[in-house]
Chain A
């Protein structure tokens, strides 16, 4: 299984500012994903972080609001830009590797970043 860490674990930010969340995996993985969990809601996929190319965004999410980087196979960042109170959520990184898929294993999730925007 993959061990995933996220930084920061939580933050309180002022509206209009931006926050960059880091996701680090202890092994090389094929796929990295960013999810959002708004209060009282379930997880929604924001985008797939592609190594060496632009991220693939889901409907309703745009690069200007959620720029994503993935410089290598173990690290990714998600930036929440020009924040508003509606961005208050838990942001989770998850990973998946073709070797896991072959073994019938699942995606692994990081501990999440709790963001509160005032």
Chain B
């Protein structure tokens, strides 16, 4: 059974810091891995999607890496801003046949001005 774990559960940093969020999964047979952002009262916003054949994806100040063999992914946020404050969720997808997403518990990030 696939399990997804995110560390740390919560993180508070001063504005401008670079930071890394961690995600691990127990079954390396995944189709893709995604990082989402969840803001209070809002749905999920997809940040980055990494296919199983890829090693990393970048979007602006965000960089996500994937090491399937070790069951790990990291989300790197450069030059953090107060607007980055949110809960970040990692999710893996088993296959492309309408496979469900299995989520980690999330990392609650707070960036202090």
Binding site for B on A (CB under 8 A): 4, 30-31, 33, 41-45, 48, 58, 92, 94, 96, 101, 104-112, 114
Are A43 and B46 in touch, CB under 8 angstroms?
no
- How many chain B residues touch the partner (CB < 8 A)? 21
Of the candidates A43, A101, A110, A114, the one whose C-beta lies within 8 Å of that of B101 is A43
A-B contact pairs, 7 of them (CB 8 A): A30-B98, A43-B89, A92-B44, A106-B32, A106-B49, A109-B43, A114-B41
Are B103 and A42 in touch, CB under 8 angstroms?
yes
Most buried by A among B49, B96, B98: B98
Set of chain A residues within 8 Å of B104, measured between Cβ atoms: 42
A105→B46 CA distance, assembly (Å)? 9
Set of chain A residues within 8 Å of B46, measured between Cβ atoms: 106-108
